[in-house]
Structure 1
Amino acid sequence: MAHSILLPPEWYPQSVIQLTWPHPESDWCYMLEEVTACYMNVAAEILKRQKLIIVCHNAAVVKHVLKEYESFFSNLTLVELPTNDTWARDHGGISVFHNGKKCIYDFTFNGWGLKFASNFDNQITRGLFSKHIFNDDVELDNRKDFVLEGGALESDGKGTLLTTTECLLSPNRNSYLSKDGIEDYLKETFGFDRILWLDHGYLAGDDTDSHIDTLARYCDEHTIAYIKCDDKNDEHYGALAKMEEQLKTFSDYKGKPYNLIALPMAKAVYDEDNERLPATYANFLIMNNVVLMPFYNDAETDEEARAQLQMAFPEKDIVGIDCSPLIRQHGSLHCITMQYPENFID
């Protein structure tokens, strides 16, 4: 199927992954050492395999933290820019092919519906362009009239968007548009033929208003991995059961039912105030040759999740990384990364 605009799926060949590094003025200040160690582990797994851009306050500090991986520094680009926080999936640029031309959409990032400060993060993509990080034939397309985060989008690369009503219809994002208006905007902007709206499913402790990347993910154009809760006493049981039933009603771009792969619900994790944290195995990152998967320091469930995801990616290694520190600020592995397609950045 030919589209004049294409949002490539995550498994499309990639040129680089972006991270935005924690710093003392970010929300990580109270646990900076612990979260920096997690970022180092994520960065190391990327650097061994692909090019990595790190947006940071202080390049020398990051280079020192990563010094044991110096042999991979040919894959590393450090870019100093002011940042509020570290969630690259949501403040990062969205890569599209527009009539065959390479383009980065720069939407407004407003801290997930005005929940958190975002004045610097909302300028990061423009900052990368001002420093000529992207190739000369990549255009910056200012879309600041629309609030949108990368974690809200799952593309099959065949004209279908999978997303959630809870997020895209939240009142502090694009309340001037109706659901039909938002659907029309997304179809026109991305060339989608259809939008599959998930109306159910949530995670306790999630600040994003149910980003799709915490709940259900395309693994290929025919396969969706999703979170399933088997414990009827868990607060998520009802909503996730309804989500599963709705996923079973969806068909792929060829009109056939999706191959659905259930990922286990992570064991409950609580913060120091006894608030449940949004641990989810759906927050994995598809790379060129591997899939990075969040683990939560629970060997049995971590391995069950890995085995399930391996069925979706039989040709790729599934690499688990302990992301217990990340959920303390209500995100996980996919939330801190953003991929750019091949030939967007050399």
Structure 2
Amino acid sequence: MPAEWAPQSAVMLTWPHPGTDWSDSLSEVEPVFMEIARAVLRFENVVLSCEHVFRLQELERNLNAEAQELGLPGRVVGVPAPANDTWARDHGPIAVSGADGTRLLDFRFNAWGSKFPWEKDNALNRHLANFGSFGTTPLVPVEFVLEGGSIESDGQGTILTTSECLLTPSRNPSMDRASIEHLLGETLGADRILWLNHGYLAGDDTDSHIDTLARFCADDHICYVACPDVSDEHYSALAAMEEELQQFHQANGQPYKLTPLPWPDAIYGDDGERLPATYANFLIINGAVLVPAYGVPQDDDALRVLAGLFPGREMIPVNCRPLIRQHGSLHCVTMQIPAGVVQV
């Protein structure tokens, strides 16, 4: 499984529509998706699916006209396809590359253990493939529930994940840790699985996806969420996660370089529920990193820290405050597609 910083041909977006949980806030969330699409088009293509054909045509027409006028390299590939929701990271295809080329793996998606409707999202990758969005790259079904947000790859055979998510019985009840490790080895080419047993974010309903907690920023370097406030409800769990990360070693036996990410001020929804704001939910694309921003003082610190972790890449802040109202952020609504797959 390639690292996220490997060359890409496109980023996948599943557009919000009135049939999703965004129905009451489309006017706030669509500008976020538009901001992401415009940022990506500066560097690569966008595969955009939408349940409503006329809205899709409008988006494709307007975004492509903007890109052409500005001389940008990216183009939009629009695909009419039904969707329950917008979390492309978790229902999108997961790429693997080898001697026989690139394949896109279509793992089963059941909405984080059947927490929400999922049947349309589970069929979305096949819709995209049938439309020709992936060119000649094969889409291979895998009878195993796995979300892209639950795994991080260093591109060298190491997968970082959380036991809270992958071992939850509502996903793959017949499989234990050993059998899951074996399957990830066969499907993703993983020869090492690093399991985090601690760490969570209040308001997260994914059972502690790794992309909200800790990320590879190089094959020898991990950045992670750290809470410095001993009075915060997250302090103990995230301190325990930090200790686990300090005990991890690279394949060569060396410890990882570790960089803590800023801890944003607490953000609450209208119902008083704490929302899962995290700077770990950034997206790496060709030549840039899209960084979630929440309108809090720590946004600038996050940009500064991530700029140091990804030298030579432009830092692009994206207002993700509307996204966390539905308990996800920037990385959660995107899925990168490797170079050579999407050609327009």
TM-score range, shorter chain: over 0.9
| Cα distance change on mapping 1:68 and 1:109 into 2, 3 Å | closer
CA RMSD between the two structures: 1.3
Q: Which amino acid aligns with 2:77?
A: T
Residue 64 (structure 1) shift: 3.7
From 154, 159, 176, give the equivalent of 2:152: 154
Which residue is 1:70 aligned to? 65
Instruction: Indicate the residue corresponding to 2:234 in structure 1.
Output: 236
Correspondence for 1:44: 38
Q: 1:86 corresponds to which residue? A: 86
- The answer to whether the aligner puts 1:315 opposite 2:312 as a matched pair is yes
1:271 is matched with 269
Query: Could you say which residue in structure 1 is the equivalent of 2:108?
Result: 108
Superposition pairs of residues 159-174 of structure 1, within 5 angstroms: 159-174=157-172
1:14 counterpart residue number: 8
Q: After superposition, where does 1:1-346 map in structure 2 within 5 Å? A: 7-62=1-56, 64=58, 67=62, 70-72=65-67, 75-136=75-136, 138-143=137-142, 145-298=143-296, 300-346=297-343
The 2-side partners of 1:109 and 1:68 are apart by 29
Letter in 2 for 1:142: P
- 3-state SS of paired residue (1:305): helix
Contact 1:261 1:309 in 2 (8 A): no
5+ residue gaps, structure 1, are 1-6
* Distance in 2 between residues matched to 1:38 and 1:345, nearest whole Å: 23
Residue aligned with 1:257, SS: coil
User: What secondary structure does 2:315 align onto?
Assistant: strand
Name the CA distance, whole Å, in 2 between partners of 1:295 and 1:78.
Answer: 27
C-alpha deviation, 1:252, in angstroms: 1.7
Q: For the structure 1 residues 68 and 92, does the alpha-carbon distance in structure 2 shift closer, same or farther, using more than 3 Å as the test?
A: closer
Deviation by residue 1:40-86 (Cα, 9 ceiling, x = unmatched): 11111111221111110234324545737723166111100011000
Percent sequence identity over aligned pairs? 49
Question: In 2, Cα distance between the equivalents of 1:22 and 1:232?
Answer: 38
Please tell me the residue identity of whatever aligns with 2:28.
E
1:4 maps to: none
Amino acid aligned to 2:241: M
Q: Which SS does the other structure have where 2:321 is aligned?
A: coil
Distance 1:70 1:47 in 2: 11
Q: 1:272 Cα deviation (Å)? A: 1.1
Aligned residues: 337
CA distance in 2, matches of 1:72, 1:8: 28
Shift of residue 253 of structure 1?
A: 2.4
| Rounded Cα–Cα distance in structure 2 between residues aligned with 1:280 and 1:108 | 26
Q: CA deviation at 1:139?
A: 1.3
How many angstroms apart in 1 are the aligned matches of 2:98 and 2:139? 12
Task: Give the aligned partner of residue 71 of structure 2.
Answer: none
Q: TM-score, normalised by structure 1?
A: 0.95
Q: Specify the code of the residue in structure 1 equivalent to 2:20.
A: S
Tell me the secondary structure at the aligned position of residue 321 of structure 1: strand
8 Å CA contact 2:41, 2:75 repeated in 1: yes
Deviations 1:237-262 (A, max 9, x none): 00000101110111122221111111
Supply the distance in 2 between the matched residues of 1:198 and 1:158 (Cα, whole angstroms): 19
Q: TM-score with structure 2 length normalisation?
A: 0.95
* CA distance in 1 between partners of 2:250 and 2:275 (Å): 32
1:222-281 superposed Cα distances (whole Å, 9 cap, x missing partner): 111100100011110000001011101111222211111110122111111100110000
Maintained 8 Å contact 1:22/1:32: yes
Q: Give the deviation of 1:192 after TM superposition.
A: 1.1
